Amino acid sequence: MFRTSSNRSLFPLFRASPQDSRSTSAPVESRAPERVADVDTPTFFLQLLAVFLAYFVAGKLGQATTSIRSSNLGPVWPAYGIALAAFLKYGFRVWPAVVSSAFLVALEGAVAPLGAAGQATAATIAAATGASLLRRLANFDPSLPRLRDALGLIVVGAFGSAFVSSTFGILSLYAAGIQPYSGIASAWLIYWFGDSTGVLLVTPLVFTLPQLIRTQSRAGILQLLALIAFTAFCCFLVFGDFFQLHLDVFAFAVLPLVLWAGVDFGIAGATLSVFLIATIATVLTASGFGPFASNTAFTNAVMLDVLFILLSVSGLALASVISERERAEAERERLIRAQAETEARLRHAAVVESSDDAIVSEDLNGLVLSWNEAAVRMFGFTEADAIGKSISQLLPPELSRDDDTGFHERRWGQRTVQLERTPTAAGETVHLSLTISPLRDANGGLAGVVRIVRDVSQRKRAEEALARAKRKIIRVQEQERARIARELHDDIGQRLALLTVGLTGVSEDLRAQAAGLAADLQALSHELHPSRIEVVGAVTGIRIFCKEFAEQHRFDVELETGDISRPLPSNISLTLFRILQEALHNTAKHSGVRQGRVRLWESQGWVHLLVSDEGKGFEPSATTENRGIGLITMQERVDLVDGEIRIESQPGGGTTIRVRVPITENDAPAPAAVSYRA
């Protein structure tokens, strides 16, 4: 899967000048303001020529479909997308190329000079205004690697700036005596839709397509060509009206192709697929074919615009969400690798600096036999002061105390388990690690013990820092999930809902499709951020999730829950929910069966979660050597709440995930069983 963040242009001549070459992948608003003295004149004129020709060619392409156009208006105006891209790329200094090319295109479209001048001025001012507003957005990147960048382009760059161009443009046409379509309201709507669609189809393509082509492998290029060919075939099949069914809803059959392109090739793939679909659909509709060719020119144009806008918004939103999530996962993996490297360095440092450990030997009576320099530095007694003294007089009680079990183990020559104590020296808490080993004489008999005391304060601080970093990563991840969920639910979801309401009376099938998209989007937002866990608690939230999971994935979930003695803290509730979420998704994806079992109960101060299936299972040793991100995430979440996790599986024997987290000493009642079936 490929994601691009390059801002280079779609057209060969759209290359940054020396003063604009400063990190073309950086957000446009971070660039320094342009100064006249910085402009390289030959490069500047090449940029003007490139913008002029690009706008002119795009404008002529927009005027090609005369049968669904009225005067100089039509359902798609790609030239406006070129204008916005030019201002984002080169700044406001290229306005002469935009206004002159727009004026010439309008004249070529049989518009009177006064109307052409008004249209050109409106397009130039609106595109410049849109670029200025986009640059004011925090770290806006026109390659749209984040959801907020895509939403900014959709809301501000497309619909917002097009509102300006359509309003002043249509007034200019009416002032010149030109009245396209069937009234000023209809003409304004087509004008607004046309410019908005031009931005959605062209502007992202300018900044992402060249980088996509340059960085693809041979296999990636072949896959991209296959996607283009299949998309074109499906478009001719749907919009060529081969079946002569005349059903408008068939047009939305191309939506999965846009989503496929967005998943595999990011913003560039999604925009390229929509651009190809729009081109073929517009040409075939203008030629009298397809589901949108049987109505008036105005109705055909509106239906085409609604289709293109829905495809563009869906593709851009999905691709930007996936890109943002992949960037977050890559950053998280980098932090995990850094953590592993830090732990490896700590282990290496412990071996290299072993001479700094205090090494003290004593006989069976507890009298000191040896006392090294590290012991002198650590405990303050010289070697002369220590030799022959009782170990209990020199070391803190935590390090010198012997219990019967430890002494028995040493007598039998067994190495004791390493213990850690926290004595106080000079008012400062110091973490010391104690290892006790048997000391043998020349005949192999037990002669005493050796105490190795190591200062592990730095390691403890590092472990605490790593634990804080893990908590911060998970907290940031949950915040990001919540933010993305809010964006999907409150912004795109609401607009899809409004679109559904607005489609009432146009096509019931089309309205049902839009309502289905809105429902899927709402379900995705709920899964990204389980807000119900905070409201209804862990048990009820998990019960609701299992029911929704069974319905959405056609997967039978048998749930058993017992009463929890008291409400669980939010961190424990979220940990159990995320582990259950990951486990059920893995079960549905990899187990090969369509049913699973979930148990949640409390016993002897621990809350337990069990997720099991009777699927094909796997070899546990394989996960030890090559753990995936899901297993790592589950282990980290359990560690942060002082819990335990165990994964049991074998090929052909199913998989069981057991989790327990400490909460209280009270026992809970026996669990009650509930089954959710798809």
Tens digits of residue pLDDT in 103-157: 888 888 777 888 888 888 988 998 999 999 998 888 888 888 888 888 888 898 8
> Does residue 386 come out as left (phi exceeding 0), alpha (psi in the -120 to 50 range) or beta?
alpha
The backbone torsions φ and ψ at residue 44, rounded to the nearest 5 degrees and listed phi first, read: -60, -45
pLDDT band per the 50, 70, 90 thresholds, residue 53: very high
In the predicted model, is pLDDT for residue 10 greater than 50? Answer: no
In the predicted model, is pLDDT for residue 32 greater than 80? Answer: no
Collapsing DSSP to helix, strand or coil, 433 comes out as strand
What is the Cα–Cα distance from 197 to 78, expressed in whole angstroms?
A: 7
Angle between helix axes 78-90 and 41-62 (nearest 10 degrees) is 160
Collapsing DSSP to helix, strand or coil, 428 comes out as strand
The full DSSP string for 264-306 is HHHHHHHHHHHHHHHHHHHHHHHTT-STTSSS-HHHHHHHHHH
Tens digits of residue pLDDT in 606-659: 899 999 999 888 887 766 555 566 677 788 778 878 888 888 888 888 999 999
In the predicted model, is pLDDT for residue 280 greater than 70? Answer: yes
pLDDT at 570: 78
Helices (H), 353-426: 373-379, 383-386, 391-394, 397-400, 404-411
Collapsing DSSP to helix, strand or coil, 183 comes out as coil
The backbone torsions φ and ψ at residue 652, rounded to the nearest 5 degrees and listed phi first, read: 80, 0
Chain mean pLDDT for the chain: 75
In the predicted model, is pLDDT for residue 471 greater than 70? Answer: no
Tens digits of residue pLDDT in 386-402: 888 888 777 777 666 65
pLDDT at 351: 39
**Which is nearest to 260 in space by CA: 209, 315, 325?**
315
* Least confidently predicted of 12-21, 297-306, 440-449, 465-474: 12-21
- CATH superfamily placement of domain 531-678: Histidine kinase-like ATPase, C-terminal domain (3.30.565.10)
What is the Cα–Cα distance from 383 to 536, expressed in whole angstroms?
A: 65
Amino acid (1-letter code) at residue 546: C
Contacts of 428 (CB under 8 A, 6+ apart): none
In the predicted model, is pLDDT for residue 411 greater than 50? Answer: no
In the predicted model, is pLDDT for residue 420 greater than 80? Answer: no
Tens digits of residue pLDDT in 33-49: 444 445 568 888 898 99
Tens digits of residue pLDDT in 308-317: 888 888 888 8
Contacts of 568 (CB under 8 A, 6+ apart): 537, 538, 576, 607, 663
pLDDT at 190: 85
Question: Regarding predicted confidence, which is higher, 501 or 89?
Answer: 89
Domains of the chain by residue range: 18-333, 354-455, 463-529, 531-678
Q: Report whether 203 contacts 156 (CB < 8 A).
A: no
pLDDT at 360: 79
Q: What average pLDDT score do residues 464-482 get?
A: 66
What is the Cα–Cα distance from 382 to 232, expressed in whole angstroms?
A: 87
The backbone torsions φ and ψ at residue 658, rounded to the nearest 5 degrees and listed phi first, read: -115, 130
Q: Report whether 456 contacts 423 (CB < 8 A).
A: no
Tell which CATH architecture fits domain 354-455. Answer: 2-Layer Sandwich (3.30)
pLDDT band per the 50, 70, 90 thresholds, residue 578: confident
Residue whose tokens read 């919540």: 482
Residue 552 DSSP one-character state: H
Question: Regarding predicted confidence, which is higher, 140 or 410?
Answer: 140
**Which is nearest to 269 in space by CA: 339, 205, 181, 356?**
205
In the predicted model, is pLDDT for residue 201 greater than 80? Answer: yes
What is the Cα–Cα distance from 150 to 320, expressed in whole angstroms?
A: 7
In the predicted model, is pLDDT for residue 483 greater than 70? Answer: no
**Which is nearest to 201 in space by CA: 100, 75, 323, 25?**
75
CA angle (459, 463, 464) in 5-degree steps: 120
The full DSSP string for 341-358 is HHHHHHHHHHHHTGGGSE
pLDDT at 87: 92
Neighbour order of strands in the sheet with 606-613: 644-649, 655-662, 606-613, 595-603, 556-561, 672-676
Structure tokens at 17: 């000048």
Question: Which helix (H) or strand (E) element contains residue 462?
Answer: helix 457-486
The full DSSP string for 142-198 is TT--SHHHHHHIIIIIIIIHHHHHHHHHHHHHHHTT---TTSHHHHHHHHHHHHHHH
Q: Exposure string (b/e) for 256-269, b if CB count within 10 Å is 16 or more?
A: ebbbbbbebbbbbb
pLDDT at 39: 54
Residue 372 DSSP one-character state: -
Question: Regarding predicted confidence, which is higher, 253 or 184?
Answer: 184
Q: What average pLDDT score do residues 652-671 get?
A: 72
pLDDT at 398: 64
pLDDT at 489: 55
**Which is nearest to 319 in space by CA: 473, 239, 204?**
204
What is the Cα–Cα distance from 208 to 362, expressed in whole angstroms?
A: 72
What is the Cα–Cα distance from 282 to 276, expressed in whole angstroms?
A: 10
Collapsing DSSP to helix, strand or coil, 487 comes out as helix
* Least confidently predicted of 112-126, 402-416, 493-507: 402-416
pLDDT at 481: 63
pLDDT at 448: 81
Question: Which helix (H) or strand (E) element contains residue 567?
Answer: none
What is the Cα–Cα distance from 648 to 261, expressed in whole angstroms?
A: 38
Relative to beta strand 556-561, strand 595-603 is parallel
What is the Cα–Cα distance from 321 to 491, expressed in whole angstroms?
A: 14
Q: Report whether 157 contacts 130 (CB < 8 A).
A: yes
**Which range in 259-263, 343-347, 470-474 is most confidently predicted, on average pLDDT?**
259-263
Structure tokens at 451: 């105490």
Tens digits of residue pLDDT in 202-238: 889 888 888 777 777 888 888 888 888 888 888 887 7
pLDDT at 19: 36
Q: Report whether 65 contacts 74 (CB < 8 A).
A: yes
pLDDT at 13: 36
The full DSSP string for 94-127 is GHHHHHHHHHHHHHHTT--HHHHHHHHHHHHHHH
What is the Cα–Cα distance from 511 to 506, expressed in whole angstroms?
A: 8
Residue whose tokens read 């990011």: 266
